[in-house]
A and B are shown apart, each in its own frame.
Chain A
């Protein structure tokens, strides 16, 4: 009963390093999302994938890239990490239909020094 699995759970990077955050879901959901959460800012949408093979920008896409590898997996890449990208990153997925809720992973706590 895994749901949405994110790896890693914690990571510390130095400025300029690159990293890929992994996300996988086992609920056969079509849509997947990446959010970041900063204190007082709520969840801000970085990128989303409505279905396999498509990706779209959200509210704060700059500095990030994504890949929808297959229906199960949606990865988020930081090419050159900056301290402003220190945050908690959540991956989520949802089924087909506008009334389908999102199911979240446990989050990745990323610190960039």
Chain B
């Protein structure tokens, strides 16, 4: 079992819809959770991080964390074609340094 798992996609949604991206992790003691966006040929850039159970909202993005289920998700409201990218889930371990990434989910937003 991989330490961090994501559905590779591609996930295709129409413009204006909600895109839902999911991630599960195996280390129950993980403390911090990050979502990065990566455009083709570019480096990852941070979208959000979350470390408490529940929801965290930032503009059109909402991160959701459920530590009991070892599950973290990212919702993108009012999806735009510019949101088309690969979304990487990252989990930081209990020591606070080692960060493991999932394989990423490719999102396509159709105009």
A interface vs B, CB < 8 Å? 31, 33, 35, 40-45, 48, 50, 56, 58-59, 90, 94, 97-99, 101-107
Contact = CB atoms under 8 A, between A and B. Distances in A.
B2 to A, nearest CB: 9
B59 interface: no
Chain B interface extent, by class: 20 to 34
Contacts of B51: 98-99
A26 B108 CA distance: 35
28 contacts: A35-B101, A40-B8, A42-B6, A42-B101, A42-B103, A42-B104, A43-B101, A45-B98, A45-B101, A48-B98, A50-B97, A56-B97, A58-B98, A90-B43, A94-B99, A98-B32, A98-B51, A98-B92, A98-B96, A99-B31, A99-B49, A99-B51, A101-B49, A102-B44, A103-B46, A104-B45, A106-B42, A107-B43
B104 A45 contact: no
Given A42-B88, A101-B49, A106 B43 contact: yes
B26 to A, nearest CB: 13
Interface of B: 6, 8, 31-32, 34, 42-46, 49, 51, 88, 90, 92, 95-104
A50 to B, nearest CB: 4
Given A98-B51, A98-B96, A99-B49, A44 B101 contact: yes
Nearest to B92: A98
